[in-house]
Amino acid sequence: MEKAIKRFWPVFVLPTFAAFLIGFVWPFLQGLYLSFCKFTTIDKAQWNGLKNYLYALTEAEFLHSFWFTALFTVVSTICINVAAFAIALALTRSIKGTNVFRSVFFMPNLIGGIVLGYIWNILLNCALTLLGKPLLSLHAPYGFIGLVILMCWQQIGYMMIIYIAGLQSIPNDYLEAARIDGANDRQILWRIKIPNVMPSITICLFLSLTNGFKLFDQNLALTAGEPNHLTEMLALHIYNTFYARSGAVWKGYGQAEAVLFCILVIAISLVQLRATRSKEVQQ
Amino acid sequence: MTRANTIRDRILSVILTILSVAWVYPVVMILLNSLKKETAITTGTAFELPSGETFAGLENYVNAIESKGFATAFWYTLVITLTSVALILICCSMCAWYITRVHTWYSRALYFLFVFSMVVPFQMLMFTLSATADRIGSASTIGSIAQRFGLSAPAGLADISLLPLNTPYGICIIYLGFGAGLAVFMFCGFMKSVPIEVEEAAMIDGCGPVRTFFFVVLPILKPTLISVGILETMWLWNDYLLPYLTLDRTKGYMTIPILIQYFRGSYGRVEMGPMMASIMLNVIPIIVVYLLCQKHIIKGVAAGAVKG
C-alpha cells in the first residue's frame, strides 16, 4: 500500500509543498540571509556581517520593547490564568446557566485583534476622560494596563475552555473518595484538582506566553506604541523599524531584530515541548 | 447538598452574571455608538445612550457600506477566507495522509518543517514574503512572460497575471503555505489514530490511492476537518498584517481589518461613525456564526489548543 501511495506524491504533496515553499520556506531563508545585509529592496542587498545584530542588541528602543513585552507577558499570563481557572472551577460546579456563561466568556476570542483594540481604545479613553485622567496614548502606564485588560478580556474565555475540559476529565471517583476520607474543599482543590489538571495548566501557560510575546494587532490598535514608542512591544517595534523609518540601514536592523525575535519564540516553544513531554511521562 | 453550598452557589451565580454583563458590554457600547450621529460620538460620551437628538438610525451603516468601501472589503474578506479554508482543508489533509502513511526520511523532514513553521512569528517573514508576492505577481503577467521569450502579448491579455499573489485570489496560495503548518500538524495527529486496515481493505478491493483518500479517509476525518476549518477561519477572517502588506492597495484590494485600521490612519480626522458601523458589521457575522455552531467552535478550539 505504501508503494501505491508513494507514486501519487504529485497529487497529494505537491500543491501544499509548492505553496509552502512560496509562503514560508523561501521568505524564511531569504529573511535569514537579509538579516546580515544592508538593503532597501531585496535586489540591492549588500553583505554587512554582524553589524545589524550588534546594533539591534545595543539599541535602547529595542531593549525597552523587549522588557516591556516581557513584563506585559508575565503580568497578563498570571492574570489570565488565575481568572480563567477560577471561572472554570465555578462553571464546573452545577450552577444554573453554565452554558450561557461559558458562551459569553468565550465570545471575545472570535473577534480579531484590530477590532478588539479599537473597541477597548474607545471604551478606556472614555472612562479615562470621565475620570479626568490623561488618555491611553499620553500616559504609558495606562497603555500597559489597558493592554493587560484587553488581553484578559480576549483570552480568559479561551483558557477557561481548556481548564473546563481538564477539570471534567478528572474521574469522579477521586473526588468522592477524597470526600469520604473527609477532605474539605480547599484540600480537594490543592491535592486533587490542581495536580490532575497540570497538563492543561502547562498548555495554558505556554499559550498565553507565546500569545503575549507575539502580540501585534491589539498593540497597534490600542496604543500604536504611543506615547513616544513607550508602549511598543517587540512585534510592533520590528514593524516600525521596517516601515516607519526611512534610510538605508533600518530594514537590515529590522530583519536582524526579527531573527532575534524568532529565536526567542522558538526557544519558548522548545521549553514548552520539554515541559509537556516530561508531564506525559509522569502520568 | 448542604445549605452553605446553595448559598455559595447563589453568590457565585451573581458574580458570574455581573462578570458576563461586563464581558458583553464593550460590544453593546459599540453597537449603541454606531447608532449615534457622527458629531455626537466623542471621547467623553461613549457611555451615553443615543437620545432623540443624537440618534442617527442606520445612517452610519449606510455610509460605511455605500461610500467607505465596506461592501468591497467584506466581499474580498469573504472570498479570501472561504477559498483559503477550502484549499487548506483539501490540500493539507491530502498532504498529511501522505506524510503519515509513507515512511521515508523526506516525509519525516516535511512533517518537521511544517511543525517548525507553526512556531515562527510572522514578523520574521513579513518583508520578504510581501516582496516575493509582489515580484511573482508582476513577473507572471502574460506580458512579461511573453517578453522573456521575445514575443509580444496581445494587448488585452498583457496585464493578466497567471500567479497573482498580490490579489485577493492569489493570496489564498500564500495562506495555503503559511497556514499549512497547523493544519498538517492537526491532521497528522488525528490520522495516526485512524485504523489503517480500513484503507488497506479499500485498496485490496481495487481502489486507487486517490479514490481511497476521498471516499474512505476523508469521511473518517470529518471531525478534524471541522476543527481545522474553524481555527483557520477564525485566523483568516481577522488577519490584518499579511493582507495589509501583501495585497496591492493601488488596485483597491482591502479586507475588513485593513478598512477599520484605515479609518484611523489616512483620513486625518477619524470618522467615528462609519468606523463604529464597520466594527459592528465585522462583529455581527462572527456572533451569528458563533451562536449557530457554538458547540463545534468550542470543541474545535479546545482540540487545537490541546494538540498545539
CB contact under 8 A, B117 and A251: no
- Whether B45 and B180 map to the same domain: the answer is no
- The arithmetic mean of pLDDT across residues A22-46, rounded, is 84
Beta bridge partners of A38: A46
User: pLDDT tens digits, residue range B54-85?
Assistant: 777 777 788 778 777 888 888 999 999 999 99
| B291 backbone φψ class: left, alpha, beta (φ>0; ψ -120 to 50) | alpha
Q: If we measure between CA atoms, which residue out of B173, B64, B22, B306 comes closest to residue A107?
A: B22
* B102, B124, B165, B218, best to mutate vs chain A, most A CBs in 10 Å: B124
Contacts of B179 (CB under 8 A, 6+ apart): B84, B88, B92, B232, B235, B236
Inform me whether the pLDDT recorded for A283 exceeds 70.
no
- The arithmetic mean of pLDDT across residues B119-131, rounded, is 88
Domain assignment present for residue B220? The answer is yes
User: pLDDT tens digits, residue range B179-198?
Assistant: 898 899 888 888 887 888 88
B124 → closest Cβ in A31, A91, A127: A31
Domain assignment present for residue B225? The answer is yes
Q: How many CB atoms lie within 10 A of CB A154?
A: 23
A122 → closest Cβ in B46, B104, B199: B46
CB contact under 8 A, B199 and A1: yes
SS3 A182: coil
Specify the pLDDT at position A131. Answer: 82
Interface check for A102 against chain B (CB to CB < 8 A): the answer is yes
- Backbone phi, then psi, for B141, in 5-degree steps? -70, 150
Contacts of B34 (CB under 8 A, 6+ apart): B60, B61, B273, B276, B277, B279, B280
Assigned C-alpha cell, A28:
524564511
* A24, A37, A214, best to mutate vs chain B, most B CBs in 10 Å: A24
**Rounded CA gap, A89 and A92, in Å?**
5
Domain assignment present for residue B120? The answer is no
**Rounded CA gap, A225 and B219, in Å?**
48
Question: Which residues on chain B are in Cβ contact (under 8 Å) with A221?
Answer: 261
Specify the pLDDT at position B12. Answer: 85
Residue A35 pLDDT grade (very low, low, confident, very high; cuts 50, 70, 90): confident
- Whether B53 and B178 map to the same domain: the answer is no
Specify the pLDDT at position B306. Answer: 59
- Whether B277 and B206 map to the same domain: the answer is yes
- The arithmetic mean of pLDDT across residues B80-99, rounded, is 92
More confident residue, B1 or B156: B156
Kindly tell me the sign of the dihedral angle through the C-alpha atoms of A208, A156, B279, B233: positive
Domain assignment present for residue B118? The answer is no
User: pLDDT tens digits, residue range A112-151?
Assistant: 888 888 888 888 888 888 887 777 778 888 888 999 999 9
> A–B: how many Cβ contacts below 8 A?
272
Which structural domain, as residue segments, surrounds residue B13? 1-67
- Whether B95 and B8 map to the same domain: the answer is no
Range list of β-strands (E), chain A: 37-38, 46-47
- Whether B37 and B94 map to the same domain: the answer is no
**Rounded CA gap, B235 and B240, in Å?**
10
End-to-end CA distance of chain A: 36
Question: Is the backbone peptide bond immediately before A227 cis, with ω within 30 degrees of 0?
Answer: yes
Specify the pLDDT at position A279. Answer: 59
Quote the ipTM score: 0.84
- Whether B93 and B50 map to the same domain: the answer is no
Specify the pLDDT at position A281. Answer: 45
Query: Please, what's the b/e burial string for A158-193 (b: 16 or more CB within 10 A of its CB; e: otherwise)?
Result: bbbbbbbbbbeeeeeeeeeebeeeebeeeeeeeebb
| CATH of residue B268 | 1.10.3720.10
- Whether B177 and B290 map to the same domain: the answer is yes
Question: Which residues on chain A are in Cβ contact (under 8 Å) with B194?
Answer: none
B125, exposed or middle or buried, with CB in 10 Å at 0-12, 13-18, 19+? buried
- Whether B80 and B15 map to the same domain: the answer is no
Question: Which residues on chain A are in Cβ contact (under 8 Å) with B260?
Answer: 114-115, 118
Q: Residues, chain A, total?
A: 283
Check: CB of residue A185 under 8 Å from CB of residue A244: no
Count of domains observed in chain B: 2
Domain assignment present for residue B152? The answer is no
pLDDT above 90 covers a percentage of chain A that reads: 14
Question: Which residues on chain B are in Cβ contact (under 8 Å) with A20?
Answer: 113-114, 117, 176-177, 180
Radius of gyration of chain B from its Cα atoms, rounded to whole angstroms: 25
Residue A153 pLDDT grade (very low, low, confident, very high; cuts 50, 70, 90): very high
Strand A37-38 and strand A46-47: the pairing is: antiparallel
- Whether B54 and B174 map to the same domain: the answer is no
Using the 3D structure, point to which of B46, B67, B88 is the last residue of a domain. Answer: B67
Q: Scan residues 202-261 of A and list those with Cβ closer than 8 Å to B.
A: 203, 207, 213-214, 216-217, 220-221, 234-235, 238-239, 242, 251, 254-255, 258-259, 261
B288, exposed or middle or buried, with CB in 10 Å at 0-12, 13-18, 19+? exposed
Give residue for cell 512560496: A22
**Can you give the three-state secondary structure of chain B, one letter per residue?**
CCHHHHHHHHHHHHHHHHHHHHHHHHHHHHHHHHCECHHHCCHHHCCCCCCCCCECCCHHHHHHHHCCCHHHHHHHHHHHHHHHHHHHHHHHHHHHHHHHHCCCHHHHHHHHHHHHHHHCCHHHCHHHHHHHHHHHHHHCEHHHHHHHCCCCCCCCCCCCECCCCCCCCCHHHHHHHHHHHHHHHHHHHHHCCCCHHHHHHHHHCCCCHHHHHHHHHHHHCHHHHHHHHHHHHHHHHHCCHHHHHHCCHHHCCCCHHHHHHHHHHCCCCCCHHHHHHHHHHHHHHHHHHHHHCHHHHHHHHHHHHHHC
| Angle formed by the axes of helices A60-92 and A98-106, nearest 10° | 170
- Whether B185 and B94 map to the same domain: the answer is yes
Domain assignment present for residue B289? The answer is yes
Give residue for cell 512591544: A233
Specify the pLDDT at position B305. Answer: 66
CA distances from B247 to B70, B134, B240 (A): 16, 8, 11
Query: Please, what's the b/e burial string for B147-159 (b: 16 or more CB within 10 A of its CB; e: otherwise)?
Result: eeeeeebeeeeee
- Whether B59 and B175 map to the same domain: the answer is no
CB contact under 8 A, B129 and A21: no
Specify the pLDDT at position A280. Answer: 53
What average pLDDT does chain B have?
83
Domain assignment present for residue B191? The answer is yes
Residue B89 pLDDT grade (very low, low, confident, very high; cuts 50, 70, 90): very high
**Rounded CA gap, B73 and B255, in Å?**
4
Check: CB of residue A94 under 8 Å from CB of residue A261: no
Inform me whether the pLDDT recorded for A282 exceeds 50.
no
Specify the pLDDT at position B195. Answer: 83
Specify the pLDDT at position B4. Answer: 65
Beta bridge partners of A46: A38
More confident residue, B27 or B47: B27
Q: If we measure between CA atoms, which residue out of A151, A146, A152 comes closest to residue A126?
A: A146
Inform me whether the pLDDT recorded for B1 exceeds 60.
no
- Whether B7 and B30 map to the same domain: the answer is yes
